[in-house]
Structure 1
Amino acid sequence: MSDLCAAALLLAFTPHAAAADAGPIAGNPLIGIPAGPFVFGRDDGPENERPRRVLDGQAFAINRTEITNRQYRRFVEETGHRSAFYANHPALGLDDRPVVGVSWGDATAFCRHYGLSLPSERQYERAARGANGAAFPWGEHGNVVPANFGTDDCCSGDARDGYPMTAPADAFTDGASEEGVLNLVGNVWEWTSDIYAPYEGNASGESAGQYRVLRGGSWNSDPSHLTTTYRLAYDPEFRFAANGGFRCVRSEP
Structure 2
Amino acid sequence: MLKPGLRATRAIIERPATLSQIAIEPELVELILADMKDEPGSLPLAAYVLRELFEQSKQTGTLTRAAYLSMNGIKGAISAQADKQFVLLSPEAKATLPFVFRRLVTLNERNEPIARHGVPTTAFGTNAAAQQLLEGLDRAHLLVYSRDGSNQPVVELAHEAILSSWDELQPWLKSDGEFLRWKTDFDADVRAWVTHNRDRSYHYTGLRLAVAERWFKDYAADFDSPDAKTFMARSRQQRQLIRLLWRFVYTATLLIVSALSFQTLYQRSLIVDAAGEVVTFPASTARLGAEEQPIQLNAFGIERFEVTNRQYNICVEAGICLPPLYPSTTMAEEKADDLPVSWVTLSQAIQYCNWIGRRIPTADEWERAARGTDARLFPWGGEEPGEDHRINWTLSDFPELFAFHAVPANDPDYTSGATPDGIFHMLGNVQEWTNTPSDCELGCQREWDGTSPVLFVGQGWANGMWISGATLSPLAQRTPAEPNLALLDLGFRCAE
Question: Normalising by structure 1, what TM-score?
Answer: 0.74
Shift of 1:88: 4.9
- What is the distance in 2 between the residues matched to 1:146 and 1:36? 28
The answer (yes or no) to whether the contact 2:288–2:375 under 8 Å persists in 1 is yes
Match of 2:379 among 137, 141, 145: 137
- What is the distance in 2 between the residues matched to 1:127 and 1:152? 26
Amino acid paired to 1:244? L
- What is the distance in 1 between the residues matched to 2:332 and 2:485? 17
1:39 to 2:282 alignment = no
Q: Which has the higher contact order (CA 8 A, sep 6+)?
A: 1
1:76 to 2:323 alignment = no
Alignment of 1:57-96 (within 5 A): 57-89=297-329, 91=331, 94-96=336-338
Partner of 1:146 in structure 2? 390
Alignment of 1:117-136 (within 5 A): 117-136=359-378
Amino acid paired to 2:493? R
Partner of 1:236 in structure 2? 483
Partner of 1:205 in structure 2? none
- Judging changes above 3 Å, is the alpha-carbon distance between structure 1 residues 163 and 53 closer, same or farther for their aligned structure 2 residues? closer
The answer (yes or no) to whether the contact 1:61–1:249 under 8 Å persists in 2 is yes
Partner of 1:199 in structure 2? 441
1:175 to 2:425 alignment = no
- What is the distance in 1 between the residues matched to 2:288 and 2:330? 39
Match of 2:349 among 80, 83, 107: 107
- What is the distance in 2 between the residues matched to 1:160 and 1:170? 21
RMSD over equivalenced CA pairs, Å:
2.7
- What is the distance in 2 between the residues matched to 1:108 and 1:238? 14
Shift of 1:123: 0.4
Aligned length: 209
Shift of 1:141: 2.2
Partner of 1:54 in structure 2? 294
- What is the distance in 1 between the residues matched to 2:332 and 2:478? 24
- Judging changes above 3 Å, is the alpha-carbon distance between structure 1 residues 120 and 88 closer, same or farther for their aligned structure 2 residues? closer
More helix by share: 2
Higher deviation after alignment, 136-145 or 94-103: 136-145
Shift of 1:192: 0.4
Q: Residue deviations 1:109-154, cap 9 Å, x none?
A: 111111111010110011000111101111012242521112539x
- What is the distance in 2 between the residues matched to 1:212 and 1:249? 17
SS at match of 1:74: helix
The answer (yes or no) to whether the contact 1:92–1:242 under 8 Å persists in 2 is no
Shift of 1:55: 1.8
- Judging changes above 3 Å, is the alpha-carbon distance between structure 1 residues 124 and 24 closer, same or farther for their aligned structure 2 residues? farther
- Judging changes above 3 Å, is the alpha-carbon distance between structure 1 residues 215 and 141 closer, same or farther for their aligned structure 2 residues? same
Unaligned runs of 5+ in 2: 1-216, 219-270, 443-450
SS at match of 2:276: coil
The answer (yes or no) to whether the contact 2:438–2:480 under 8 Å persists in 1 is yes
- What is the distance in 1 between the residues matched to 2:308 and 2:480? 23
- Judging changes above 3 Å, is the alpha-carbon distance between structure 1 residues 91 and 159 closer, same or farther for their aligned structure 2 residues? farther
Shift of 1:177: 1.1
- Judging changes above 3 Å, is the alpha-carbon distance between structure 1 residues 180 and 90 closer, same or farther for their aligned structure 2 residues? closer
